[in-house]
Structure 1
Amino acid sequence: MDSIDYSPLIISIKTSLAATIIAFVAGIGAAAFVMRLKNHKNLIDGIFTLPLVLPPTVIGFFLLVVFGKNGVFGKILLGFESSVVFTWTATVIASSVVAFPLMYRASKASFEQLDQTLVYSAQTLGMSETRIFFRVILPNCRYGILSGTILAFSRAMGEFGATVIIAGNIPGKTQTMALAVYTAIQSGDRALAFKWAFLISAISLLAVVVMNSISQKGDRR
């Protein structure tokens, strides 16, 4: 029986976990920022949501423009004799960008649905805005935030277009499961492509089931 290189699975899990952490922090922060805005709220919301509707290849192109050798961050990195393009870090960046809007939208929706009397009560008790955010808002929005986190992880797990442009398809280095499916199809190995596709589908289905369970629990509460 032919052995299977499981590096795409390991790379996908590592990339998805790292991207989810980044999207988690950035998404919650962005949602809190937008909720406090008085002007240009719709514009900023549109910018944060844009990666959700743009083709992944376009996202990858923009990332390549920014992090390439002629890009703003690319030139800075070259000054330190370093580069992001075609590295594992690039897979994390690409996955973080496409996962971010899902985390942002879920967090923002949870903040909007929060009973504001809880916030007003905390303010009357003299709690600071920071303490209110961490002690009142986040705990009461935890189910929506958890759902967004799972969605972000699933999206990062299945990322392909942006990753292949900025990180390439390097076996053992940047080749995720989604890229392994593409490689297997290109080489005519349909059996291997099916195995990777089935594994991605199984992980995604499990994530959706967990998300639905969390959402139902939140609705009951």
Structure 2
Amino acid sequence: MSWLGPDEWQAVALSLKVAFWATALSLPFGVFAAYALSRWTFAGKQVVNGLIHLPLILPPVVTGYLLLLTFGARGPIGGFLAQFGITFAFQWTGAALAAAVMAFPLMVRAIRLSMDAADPKLEQAAATLGASRLWVFVTITLPLAVPGIITGAILAFAKAMGEFGATITFVSNIPGQTQTLPSAIYAFLQVPNGEGAALRLVVVSVVIAMSALILSEVLAKRAAKRVGGQ
């Protein structure tokens, strides 16, 4: 990417960093949430399902503002964490949090669909033979859900790379600190003669998004074949 300028490359690198951590840290929670929605029956299940998918429906700016109220320096969680030197607002960590929240529904949905498609009789048979619920999950449910986990993780990564509304509301658009790829595109479009830089970043965005979609399809198919072969 030598054709990118220093500021452009900085935005791409920060976006990759934000997307990686947003995906990696939310993946365990995504697997747990998908398993709970797919296998458990509990009071308020539809409410939980609605809350998980709410970021898909709400305007991203609303999600970002809610994050600012909650995790800002004066927020109930942000104020508490600030006592230990942990801050999110106007930091790259906040960008990762915003990206994770916005991408979480896509991740959970992909994993849940994979778990729903798995034959529950296999789990029932293992439980009948005396296997614990945790062992059944680790040895049967989780391997069968691998295609969905791969798809969900890659789609979440791609979504995190392109997140804009919630991120700019929560952490602003600070070059070198919170200016991710979409924020940089927006910033370049606001200044004279910035169209060239914006266009280059648009090309990078399209390439990354298409690569993620193709990779998710290829890896999910390979994982499905392996699971089917077993």
- TM exceeding 0.5: yes
Kept in 1: contact 2:19–2:99 (CA 8 A): yes
Q: Which residue of 2 aligns with 1:138?
A: 142
Q: TM-score, normalised by structure 1?
A: 0.93
Which secondary structure does the structure 2 equivalent of 1:11 belong to?
Answer: helix
Identical-pair percentage:
35
Q: Which residue of 2 aligns with 1:31?
A: 34
Candidates 193, 198, 205, aligned match of 1:200:
205
Q: Which residue of 1 aligns with 2:23?
A: 20
Candidates 104, 109, 112, aligned match of 2:113:
109
Kept in 2: contact 1:23–1:152 (CA 8 A): no
Kept in 1: contact 2:110–2:149 (CA 8 A): yes
Question: Hey, what's the Cα distance between the residues in 2 that align with 1:103 and 1:170?
Answer: 28
Candidates 145, 148, 158, aligned match of 1:154:
158
CA root-mean-square deviation: 1.8
3 and 48 in structure 1: CA distance in 2 versus 1, 3 angstrom threshold: closer
Deviates more, 1:195-204 or 1:122-131: 122-131
Alignment of 1:2-151 (within 5 A): 3-5=5-7, 6-34=9-37, 35-80=39-84, 83-151=87-155
116 and 170 in structure 1: CA distance in 2 versus 1, 3 angstrom threshold: same
Question: Hey, what's the Cα distance between the residues in 1 that align with 2:41 and 2:12?
Answer: 41
Deviates more, 1:50-59 or 1:208-217: 208-217
Q: TM-score, normalised by structure 2?
A: 0.90
Question: Hey, what's the Cα distance between the residues in 1 that align with 2:83 and 2:151?
Answer: 40
1:184 is aligned with what amino acid?
Answer: F
- 1:179 and 2:191 aligned: no
Question: Hey, what's the Cα distance between the residues in 2 that align with 1:203 and 1:13?
Answer: 10
Unaligned runs of 5+ in 1: none
Which secondary structure does the structure 2 equivalent of 1:119 belong to?
Answer: helix
- 1:166 and 2:184 aligned: no
Kept in 2: contact 1:23–1:99 (CA 8 A): no
Kept in 2: contact 1:90–1:166 (CA 8 A): yes
Question: Hey, what's the Cα distance between the residues in 1 that align with 2:86 and 2:126?
Answer: 48
Unaligned runs of 5+ in 2: none
Question: Hey, what's the Cα distance between the residues in 2 that align with 1:80 and 1:70?
Answer: 14
Question: Hey, what's the Cα distance between the residues in 1 that align with 2:11 and 2:92?
Answer: 12
Deviates more, 1:118-127 or 1:177-186: 118-127
Shift of 1:214: 3.2
Q: Could you give the per-residue CA deviations for residues 19-63 of structure 1, whole angstroms, max 9, x where no partner exists? A: 001221111111122231233222211111111221111110100
Which secondary structure does the structure 1 equivalent of 2:89 belong to?
Answer: coil
Shift of 1:191: 0.5
Across the two proteins, how many residue pairs are aligned to each other? 221
Kept in 2: contact 1:85–1:167 (CA 8 A): yes
